[in-house]
Amino acid sequence: MTARSAPPAPHATPLDLGGRTALVTGAAGGIGRACALRLAAAGAEVRAVDLDAAGLKDLVGSADGLPGTVEPHVLDLTDLDAAERAAAGTDVLVNNAGLQLVRPLEEFPPDVFHTVLTVMLEAPFRLIRGALPHMYGQGWGRIVNVSSVHGLRASAYKSAYVAAKHGLEGLSKTAALEGAPHGVTSNCVNPAYVRTPLVEKQLADQARTHGLPEERVLAEVLLRDSAVKRLIEPEEVAEAVAYLCGPQASFMTGASVVLDGGWTAH
């Protein structure tokens, strides 16, 4: 045995986040909601951030009876100072909140581009900035950034979203390099199309842009490059997020965990 040996592998250890706090943004719906419930199921005290108060209330009801807790925190992440403050003291940070607009570049409204970049790139930076002092202080922390296949590949008409997600990939890798000496990992998860309100809205949006019925948009646009011809469920994404928070993933950092049904295998 050398001093460089890894600690014993915690095979088959169920995720236990008892005593840990986790902040999840965009927790009122879709993937964020599934992540909040998954982390609370693992025992975490979840701070659920969203601007949708009704969605958060519903989430709190759904978390009833889980080993952990869910505390709603109504916040618009474009308030960057408030976002940074909200992250203070958290052990796990899941940067998930997002929005999408599908529009050709020459018609893309600059104010929407700015909002997308603020919520999906600048707010994660500020949340990480707010979370790191506590994580570094205790020598442990988990940052999971919900990126997308669009963090690795572009699609036409999604300039702001693709730019934000590519930026988030860079932010995540930088946090991984800086966090490693302090026991903090930072990773992305990269789903293809997930069955959430964001995608349902996009189906209608894309149908208008492409002049196609919604069923054809699903088959011919959204799932065109996916070898697995279905949407992925939010709970499947939450499972990958949970894995990255567990002891099995302590060596995994700066990575992008692709859940794309084979899209990027092309």
Ligand X SMILES: NC(=O)c1ccc[n+]([C@@H]2O[C@H](COP(=O)([O-])OP(=O)(O)OC[C@H]3O[C@@H](n4cnc5c(N)ncnc54)[C@H](O)[C@@H]3O)[C@@H](O)[C@H]2O)c1
Tokens matching residue 124? 């994660």
Q: Give, as ranges, the residues between 101 and 160 that touch ligand X (CB under 6 A).
A: 119, 146, 148
What CA–CA distance (Å, rounded) separates 22 from 48? 8
Of the candidate spans 8-16, 40-48, 63-71, 188-196, the one that interacts with ligand X by CB under 6 A turns out to be 188-196
Instruction: Tell me the closest approach of the beta carbon of residue 111 to ligand X, in angstroms.
Output: 13
Distances (CA, A) of 136 to 13, 37, 131, 217, 239: 25, 26, 9, 46, 25
Is 136 one of the annotated active-site residues of the chain? no
Of the candidate spans 30-38, 60-68, 178-186, 241-249, the one that interacts with ligand X by CB under 6 A turns out to be 30-38
Query: What number of chain residues touch ligand X (CB under 6 A)?
Result: 27
What CA–CA distance (Å, rounded) separates 266 from 192? 14
Asked if 197 touches ligand X (CB under 6 A), the answer is yes
Instruction: Tell me the closest approach of the beta carbon of residue 194 to ligand X, in angstroms.
Output: 4
Instruction: Tell me the closest approach of the beta carbon of residue 176 to ligand X, in angstroms.
Output: 19
Residues 6+ apart with CB under 8 A from 77: 25, 49, 51, 83, 97, 118, 119, 123
Give just the sign of the alpha carbon dihedral 63, 257, 145, 160: negative
Instruction: Tell me the closest approach of the beta carbon of residue 253 to ligand X, in angstroms.
Output: 20
Spell out where 86-242 has E strands.
92-95, 141-146, 184-191
What CA–CA distance (Å, rounded) separates 182 from 177? 10
Residues 6+ apart with CB under 8 A from 65: none
Asked if 72 touches ligand X (CB under 6 A), the answer is no
Catalytic residue, chosen from 136, 157, 161, 243, is 161
Of 77, 58, 85, which Cα lies nearest the Cα of 122? 77
Asked if 167 touches ligand X (CB under 6 A), the answer is no
The single residue among 26, 68, 124, 179 that binds ligand X, judged by CB under 6 A, is 26
Residue closer to ligand X, measured from CB, 43 or 120: 120
Helix orientation angle between 110-117 and 159-179, rounded to the nearest 10 degrees: 20
Residue closer to ligand X, measured from CB, 194 or 217: 194
Instruction: Tell me the closest approach of the beta carbon of residue 32 to ligand X, in angstroms.
Output: 5
Residue whose beta carbon is closest to ligand X: 30
Q: Which residues bind ligand X (CB under 6 A)?
A: 26, 28-32, 50-52, 55, 76-78, 96-99, 119, 146, 148, 191, 193-194, 196-199
